[in-house]
Structure 1
Amino acid sequence: MPKYLISFERGAMDHIPEEDFPEVGKAAHAVIQEAKDSGVFVFSGGLKYDDGDAEPAVVTVDGVVTDVPSPESKELIGGFAIVDVPSREAALAWAAKIAVACRCAQDVRKFMHDPADD
Structure 2
Amino acid sequence: MAKYLISFPSAAMVVSDSEREAAGRDAHAAIEEAKAAGVYVFGGGIDEDVPPVLVSADGSVASGGYPWAPALNGGFTVLELPSRDDAVAWAARIARACRCDQELRVFGLDPQS
Q: Smaller-chain TM-score range? A: 0.7 to 0.9
Q: Where in structure 1 do 4 or more consecutive aligned residues deviate above 4 Å?
A: none
Query: What amino acid sits opposite 2:36 in the alignment?
Result: D
Equivalent pairs, count? 111
Q: Which residue of 2 aligns with 1:76?
A: 72
Q: Which residue of 2 aligns with 1:108?
A: 104
Q: Which residue of 1 aligns with 2:27?
A: 28
- Displacement after TM superposition at 1:69 (Å): 6.5
* Structure 2 portions without partners, runs of 5+: none
Q: Which residue of 2 aligns with 1:9?
A: 9
The equivalences for 1:13-92 within 5 A come to 13=13, 15-50=14-49, 54-66=50-62, 67-68=64-65, 75-92=71-88
Residues 23, 98 of structure 2: 8 Å contact kept: yes
What SS does the aligned partner of 2:4 have?
A: strand
What SS does the aligned partner of 2:11 have?
A: coil
- Displacement after TM superposition at 1:24 (Å): 0.4
- Displacement after TM superposition at 1:91 (Å): 0.9
Query: What amino acid sits opposite 1:36 in the alignment?
Result: K
Query: What amino acid sits opposite 1:68 in the alignment?
Result: G
* Structure 1 portions without partners, runs of 5+: none
Query: What amino acid sits opposite 1:84 in the alignment?
Result: E
Residues 11, 74 of structure 1: 8 Å contact kept: no
Q: CA RMSD in A?
A: 2.0
TM-score (structure 1 length as normaliser): 0.83
TM-score (structure 2 length as normaliser): 0.86
Query: What amino acid sits opposite 2:7 in the alignment?
Result: S
Cα distance in 2 between the residues matched to 1:48 and 1:26: 19
Query: What percent identity do the matched residue pairs reach?
Result: 47
- Displacement after TM superposition at 1:17 (Å): 1.2
Cα distance in 2 between the residues matched to 1:10 and 1:64: 29
Query: What amino acid sits opposite 1:86 in the alignment?
Result: P
